[in-house]
């Protein structure tokens, strides 16, 4: 065990920057990482304001943060693909490698997965962490720490794009222009979509998504989305709709946005069960896919960022020093419409 400085969620609505004892021995197959940048995720903010997400309840103080990049400072026995000094980002979920889900390649849905900043597992808003080397990924020189810390949320977009099975030239729709919706739109374009219609009520969010070539922002307070899609596709409908708002209302009419044989990808999580038009979905033989975090997406996400084809830098709204991380969280609670991603940096 070692004592390190961390941002600790003591209980609902109470954050503290304080020392905490964490296990930091580097075992076989593990690396020790000095944390550089951590992004604030909606889930971190939700634990702060509500003390729980669904079945995960904060019953003891917990370090927040799971979107991280840093530098390898110690390498455990048997680790060959990383060395001290490597700049890296990390997958926050550690599955049981021998579980049935892991053996089937679906390690993200292993019921035994241990995920940073999901009670009772500590997160990484702390100076150091020990992590399995297989879930630690080297950043090419062209990828900054700030971008490295964006790989985690972008991997969700990558997983959604992969589940959609996009064909080159597809027209996609993204419902909800929050951070994840925007990441999904960028991943869908990288995956071959000719255009991605992004729909939301909040104009500042649409303006940010609209900076990306191929994104067509539509303010659904001013325009009828199904009419716009019909106009753009000669009445045929979209090939894919990514539902990223989690709104029950979005599900009421989602089937009307799609072409026959199209796909719905559920990314946003409605808080309770929702009504869904099964008949229209069946008549169109719609395919419905779901997404839970990601599996096998980090290398692909990093490759896209390094290639220059995906630029996530415009989504980083503001960077805070670690000593100001409580202010950073209070800013995230404000949910300013023009804030996409807030990041915290150690020794800014
Ligand atoms: Zn996240």
Whether the per-residue pLDDT at 342 is higher than 90: the answer is: yes
Cα(63) to ligand 1 centroid in Å equals 14
Cα(231) to ligand 1 centroid in Å equals 35
Q: How confident is the model at residue 275 (pLDDT cuts 50, 70, 90)?
A: very high
Cα(157) to ligand 1 centroid in Å equals 11
Cα(262) to ligand 1 centroid in Å equals 28
Q: How confident is the model at residue 54 (pLDDT cuts 50, 70, 90)?
A: confident
Q: How far apart are CA 183 and CA 49, in angstroms?
A: 24
Q: How confident is the model at residue 348 (pLDDT cuts 50, 70, 90)?
A: low
Instruction: Provide, rounded to the nearest whole percent, the portion of the chain with pLDDT above 70.
Output: 100
CA 70 to chain centre: 18
Q: What average pLDDT score do residues 86-97 get?
A: 97
Question: What are the structural domains of the chain?
Answer: 2-150+312-345 (3.90.180.10), 154-290 (3.40.50.720)
Cα(45) to ligand 1 centroid in Å equals 10
- Write down the mean pLDDT value for the chain: 97
Q: How confident is the model at residue 1 (pLDDT cuts 50, 70, 90)?
A: confident
Cα(43) to ligand 1 centroid in Å equals 6
Q: What average pLDDT score do residues 262-275 get?
A: 94
Longest dimension (CA), the chain: 63
Q: How far apart are CA 252 and CA 247, in angstroms?
A: 9
Q: What average pLDDT score do residues 62-82 get?
A: 98
Q: How far apart are CA 154 and CA 168, in angstroms?
A: 20
Residue carrying structure tokens 């889900």:
101
Cα(156) to ligand 1 centroid in Å equals 8
pTM of the predicted structure, to 2 decimals:
0.96
The CA angle 88-177-231, to the nearest 5 degrees, is: 130
Long-range contacts from 186-189, C-beta under 8 angstroms, 24+ separation:
186/154, 186/157, 186/212, 186/310, 186/312, 187/154, 187/157, 187/158, 187/160, 187/161, 187/310, 188/157, 188/160, 188/161, 188/164, 188/240, 188/242, 189/213, 189/214, 189/215
Of residues 347, 292, 328, the one with CA closest to residue 48: 328
Cα(40) to ligand 1 centroid in Å equals 7
Cα(118) to ligand 1 centroid in Å equals 11
Do strands 93-94 and 114-115 pair parallel, antiparallel, or not at all (unpaired)? antiparallel
Cα(240) to ligand 1 centroid in Å equals 23
Cα(68) to ligand 1 centroid in Å equals 10
Residues, beta carbon < 5 Å, ion ligand 1 = 41
Q: How far apart are CA 339 and CA 331, in angstroms?
A: 9
Identify how many contiguous H helices and E strands the chain contains and give both numbers. 11, 20
Cα(42) to ligand 1 centroid in Å equals 7
Q: 84 is written with which tokens?
A: 């001290």
Q: How confident is the model at residue 347 (pLDDT cuts 50, 70, 90)?
A: confident
Cα(235) to ligand 1 centroid in Å equals 36
Cα(281) to ligand 1 centroid in Å equals 30
Cα(282) to ligand 1 centroid in Å equals 33
Beta bridge partners of 11: 14
Cα(296) to ligand 1 centroid in Å equals 16
Cα(348) to ligand 1 centroid in Å equals 22
Give 226-256 pLDDT, tens digit per residue. Answer: 999 999 999 999 999 999 999 999 999 999 9
Per the CB < 8 A criterion, the answer to whether 244 and 183 are in contact is no
Cα(151) to ligand 1 centroid in Å equals 10
Beta bridge partners of 242: 174, 265
Cα(340) to ligand 1 centroid in Å equals 12
Cα(155) to ligand 1 centroid in Å equals 9
Cα(182) to ligand 1 centroid in Å equals 13
Whether the per-residue pLDDT at 171 is higher than 90: the answer is: yes
Q: How confident is the model at residue 344 (pLDDT cuts 50, 70, 90)?
A: very high
Cα(285) to ligand 1 centroid in Å equals 32
Cα(283) to ligand 1 centroid in Å equals 36
Cα(66) to ligand 1 centroid in Å equals 6
Q: How far apart are CA 8 and CA 12, in angstroms?
A: 11
Contacts of 262 (CB under 8 A, 6+ apart): 237, 238, 239, 240, 241, 284, 286, 287
Q: What average pLDDT score do residues 209-226 get?
A: 97
Give 25-52 pLDDT, tens digit per residue. Answer: 999 999 999 999 999 999 999 999 999 9
């Amino acid at each position: 065990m070692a004592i390190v400085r961390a941002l600790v969620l003591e209980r609902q609505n109470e954050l503290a920057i304080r020392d905490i004892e964490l296990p930091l021995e580097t075992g076989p197959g593990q690396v020790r990482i000095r944390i550089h940048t951590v992004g604030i995720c909606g889930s971190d903010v939700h634990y702060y304001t509500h003390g729980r997400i669904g079945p995960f309840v904060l019953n003891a103080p917990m370090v927040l943060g799971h979107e991280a990049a840093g530098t390898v400072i110690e390498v455990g026995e048997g680790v060959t693909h990383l060395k001290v000094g490597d700049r890296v980002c990390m997958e926050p979920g550690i599955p049981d490698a021998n579980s049935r889900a892991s053996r089937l390649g679906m390690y993200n849905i292993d019921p035994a997965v241990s995920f940073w900043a999901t009670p009772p597992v500590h997160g990484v808003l702390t100076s150091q962490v020990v992590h399995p080397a297989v879930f630690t990924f080297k950043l090419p020189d062209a990828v900054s720490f700030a971008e490295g810390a964006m790989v985690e949320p972008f991997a969700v977009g990558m997983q959604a794009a992969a589940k959609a099975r996009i064909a080159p030239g597809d027209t996609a729709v993204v419902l909800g222009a929050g951070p994840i919706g925007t990441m999904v739109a960028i991943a869908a374009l990288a995956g071959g979509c000719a255009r991605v219609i992004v729909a939301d009520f909040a104009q500042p969010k649409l303006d940010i998504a609209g900076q990306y070539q191929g994104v067509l922002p539509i303010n659904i307070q001013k325009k009828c989305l199904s009419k716009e899609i019909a106009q753009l596709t000669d009445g045929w409908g979209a090939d894919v709709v990514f539902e990223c708002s989690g709104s029950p209302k979005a599900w009421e009419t989602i089937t009307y946005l799609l072409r026959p044989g199209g796909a719905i990808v559920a990314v946003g999580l409605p808080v309770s069960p929702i009504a869904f038009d099964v008949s229209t979905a069946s008549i169109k033989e719609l395919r419905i896919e779901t997404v839970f975090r990601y599996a096998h997406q980090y290398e692909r996400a990093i490759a896209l960022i390094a290639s220059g084809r995906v630029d996530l830098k415009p989504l980083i709204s503001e960077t805070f020093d670690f000593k100001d991380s409580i202010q950073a969280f209070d800013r995230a609670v404000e949910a300013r419409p023009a804030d996409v991603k807030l990041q915290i940096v150690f020794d800014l």
